[in-house]
């Protein structure tokens, strides 16, 4: 028997009230999620002139943008000369990105044929960002400033089982070829293609290690030193971390590269004359190299190092160490802008951990913070003189 009419009206009203409350709550949740969560960003590229068949890719610092792979994230052509793609990012995310035609030899250029810096956007609300591009890099239209200072030698396809082969670039100090009885300390540095030659460096801006070391040697501020640049590979992130590939990479340096350098060049082979250095993940692996192989390296230069960020945490390794203090000297620096600002807590945590293990600031632990610096080769080029004068000071008096 059906319920009375009055009861049916009450039930219907109850359902309607429930539906209204449900819709209001759902809308409120969506608004709150939008306010605190995901934000829509459309990246649009407009080109003039338009070339039929051209493909446009975006490459950037987050997974949605391909983590700097130049051919992973393609934009869709909307009409002649217009490409775009819609992305979703968490509110507050800072994205950095560039545009290419599928590789870094075809990236977008400024109208004056120079490479622009990364586009940077802090995501705060739904937006469309339009970039107008009139020139793409080709084999002949790129302006490059700078050159290699001094003598360098190359060694190709160095490898061990389990690692991709890589090249080495060896910079020889002034006087090396004339002073045939003299032996030299060695500074092993990661990301070797970025150290001396702007033509091979990221963004065509190198560290200028050659110019800096050459000048410091010639004015007598540092001892003549051999610098070995070890090129990275597409496995850079894994090879520069506390991972299986990272430990294989350190084995490559210690068991193959260093013995080869010692056999081919007049080096001072002992640990006191052997240093290691690099930036970002290269700064991390420099710390790991020295910490894991103190019998090989006595000094480590860590520029803008990724000691503790996201899933990376090498600070805990230092904290958990209970043995005797290792006879190491550390130079650690960092900027204060963009990614370097995010790396700062890890830098501070590592400094504290090292101090707790007995390392003393301005004695065997040297810290430098450049608050206005960002995370790139030009910034590290301005600071590379510091560990050079600290590690190889001709007067053994530390950083000037």
First to last CA, the chain: 97
**C-alpha–C-alpha distance, residues 383 and 380, integer Å:** 5
Domains detected in the chain:
38-133 (2.60.40.10), 151-392 (3.40.50.1820)
**C-alpha–C-alpha distance, residues 333 and 346, integer Å:** 12
Confidence of residue 398 (pLDDT cuts 50, 70, 90): very low
Q: Distance of alpha carbon 200 from its chain centroid, rounded?
A: 16
Q: What is the pTM of this model?
A: 0.72
The pLDDT of residue 124 = 93
The pLDDT of residue 34 = 52
How confident is the prediction for the chain on average, in pLDDT? 90
> Is residue 370 predicted with pLDDT exceeding 60?
yes
Condensed to tens digits (0 to 9), the pLDDT of residues 312-344 reads 999 999 999 999 999 999 999 999 998 999 999
Lowest mean pLDDT, pick from 25-39, 136-150, 201-215, 249-263 = 25-39
The pLDDT of residue 5 = 53
From the list 241, 250, 234, the residue with the least C-alpha distance to 311 is: 241
Angle, CA 368 vertex, CA 362 and CA 372 arms, to 5°: 160
Q: Residue-wise over 102-130: b if at least 16 C-beta within 10 A, else e?
A: bebebbbbeeeeebbebbebebeeeeeee
**C-alpha–C-alpha distance, residues 188 and 179, integer Å:** 22
From the list 127, 129, 123, the residue with the least C-alpha distance to 91 is: 123
**Where are any strands of DSSP class E within 280-348?**
299-303, 308-309, 312-313, 329-335
Structure tokens of 161?
Answer: 């089982």
């Amino acid at each position: 028997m059906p319920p009375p009419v009055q009861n049916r009206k009450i039930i219907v009203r109850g359902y309607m009230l429930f539906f209204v409350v449900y819709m209001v709550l759902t809308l409120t949740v969506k608004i709150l999620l939008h306010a605190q969560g995901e934000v829509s960003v459309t990246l649009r590229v407009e080109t003039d002139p338009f070339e039929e068949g051209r493909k446009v890719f975006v490459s950037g610092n987050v997974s949605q943008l391909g983590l700097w792979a130049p051919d992973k994230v393609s934009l869709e052509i909307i009409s002649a000369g217009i490409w775009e793609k819609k992305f979703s990012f968490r509110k507050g995310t800072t994205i950095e990105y560039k545009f290419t035609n599928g590789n870094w030899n075809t990236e977008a250029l400024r109208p004056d044929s120079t490479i622009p810096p990364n586009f940077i956007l802090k995501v705060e609300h739904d937006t469309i960002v339009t970039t107008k591009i009139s020139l793409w890099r080709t084999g002949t239209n790129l302006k490059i400033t700078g050159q290699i200072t001094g003598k360098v030698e190359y060694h190709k396809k160095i490898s061990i089982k389990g690692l991709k082969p890589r090249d080495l670039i060896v910079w020889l100090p002034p006087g090396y070829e004339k002073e045939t009885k003299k032996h030299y300390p060695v500074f092993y540095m990661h990301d070797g293609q970025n150290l001396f030659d702007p033509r091979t460096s990221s963004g065509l801006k190198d560290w200028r290690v050659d110019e800096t070391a050459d000048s410091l040697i010639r004015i007598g501020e540092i001892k003549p030193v051999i610098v070995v640049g070890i090129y990275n590979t597409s496995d850079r992130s894994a090879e520069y971390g506390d991972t299986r590939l990272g430990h294989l990479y350190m084995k490559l340096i210690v068991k193959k590269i260093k013995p080869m350098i010692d056999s081919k060049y007049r080096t001072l082979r002992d640990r006191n004359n052997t240093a290691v250095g690099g930036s970002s993940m290269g700064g991390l692996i420099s710390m790991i190299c020295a910490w894991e192989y103190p019998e090989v390296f006595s000094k480590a230069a860590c520029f803008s190092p990724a000691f503790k960020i996201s899933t990376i945490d090498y600070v805990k390794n230092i904290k958990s160490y209970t043995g005797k203090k290792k006879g190491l000297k550390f130079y650690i620096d960092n900027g204060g802008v963009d990614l370097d600002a995010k790396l700062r807590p890890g830098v501070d945590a590592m400094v504290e951990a090292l101090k707790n293990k007995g390392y003393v600031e301005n004695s065997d632990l040297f810290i430098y913070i450049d608050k206005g610096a960002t995370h790139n080769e030009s910034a590290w080029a301005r600071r590379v003189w510091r560990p050079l004068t600290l590690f190889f000071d001709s007067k053994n008096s530390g950083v000037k």
